[in-house]
Amino acid sequence: QVQLQESGPGLVKPSETLSLTCSVSSGSVDTGSYHWFWIRQTPGKGLEWIGRLSYSGSATYGPSLKSRATISVGTSKNQFSLKLSSVTAADTAMYYCARARGFPTFDIEIWGQGTMVTVSS
Amino acid sequence: QTVVTQEPSLSVSPGGTVTLTCGLNSGSVSTNYYPSWYRQTPGQAPRTLIYSTNTRSPGVPDRLSGSILGNKAALTITGAQADDESDYYCALFMGSGVWMFGGGTRLTVL
């Protein structure tokens, strides 16, 4: 069973760039017809889809973070990363990475456990 | 701006049946949106329940079922149990590589 693990700083200063990495326990992000997601959940609120990296290397983003988020392959092909620029306290959240399947199911198959990021000076 | 809508909260009696819905602020949800459903308990990552409208993930009991009801996707729980008390989220594939979550439904069993 493939597992996903998020990593990165738990504390980021306002106006700086949040950087997170998701490590995939087996396989690489460019094999199989999978999509690699970042999702976040602010305290006490719902899930927000940040964006995805496709197996072909293309990235798409949700409307609310489109201008500040960048999702890309990590330093090795069993990792992918999220960068979120110009963070504010509103970006304080639990950040999840996930693997989703494409056609014909388009579902989130595997979730990471999540990593909490706090934006504060 | 497109918004995926869910009931903020619902309640059900033990043994009862409840239906959670997932709609759009403009337009109808169809199978072409590949609706999926996720359950989240406090402090845990979400777990996938239903995908492609009505396919259960492994290990999900058949008292949970997905469908399209009218212009919305629906998750129906029959024979509600105490451990069904959770937050439930739907997700829709919007096309062009974009997914969206609904705001979530907090289900209380009482």
How close A29 gets to chain B, by Cα (Å)?
Answer: 16
Q: What is the pLDDT of residues A41-62, one digit of tens each?
A: 998 889 999 999 998 899 999 9
How close A60 gets to chain B, by Cα (Å)?
Answer: 6
Phi, psi of B3, rounded to the nearest 5 degrees? -130, 135
Residue A75 has pLDDT above 90, yes or no: no
How close A24 gets to chain B, by Cα (Å)?
Answer: 16
Of B45, B51, B89, the CB nearest to A107: B51
Instruction: Answer yes or no: do A49 and B36 touch at CB < 8 A.
Output: no
Using a CB-CB cut-off of 8 Å, the residues of chain B touching A48 are 101
Per-residue pLDDT tens digits of chain B, which is 110 residues long: 899 999 999 999 999 999 999 999 999 999 999 999 999 999 999 999 999 999 999 999 999 999 999 999 999 999 999 999 999 999 999 999 999 999 999 999 99
Using a CB-CB cut-off of 8 Å, the residues of chain A touching B1 are 63
> What's the whole-number mean pLDDT along residues A65-91?
94
Nearest CA in chain A to B100: A49
Interface of B to A at Cβ within 8 Å reads: 1, 34, 36, 38, 40, 45-48, 51-52, 55, 57, 87, 89, 91, 93, 96-104
**Average predicted confidence (pLDDT) for chain A:** 94
Nearest CA in chain B to A48: B101
Query: pLDDT band for position A32 (50/70/90)?
Result: confident
Dmax (CA) for chain A in angstroms is 45
- Say how many Å lie between the first and final Cα of chain B, rounded: 36
> Which residues touch A76 (CB under 8 Å, ≥6 apart)?
none
| Assigned token pair, B61 | 């009991």
> What's the whole-number mean pLDDT along residues A65-70?
95
Closest by Cα among A83, A61, A35 to B100:
A61
> Which residues touch B26 (CB under 8 Å, ≥6 apart)?
B2
Query: pLDDT band for position A1 (50/70/90)?
Result: confident
Instruction: Answer yes or no: do A46 and B34 touch at CB < 8 A.
Output: no
Distances B32 to A7, B35, B36, B68 between C-alpha atoms, Å: 34, 8, 12, 11
Strands B18-24 and B36-40: unpaired
How close A120 gets to chain B, by Cα (Å)?
Answer: 22
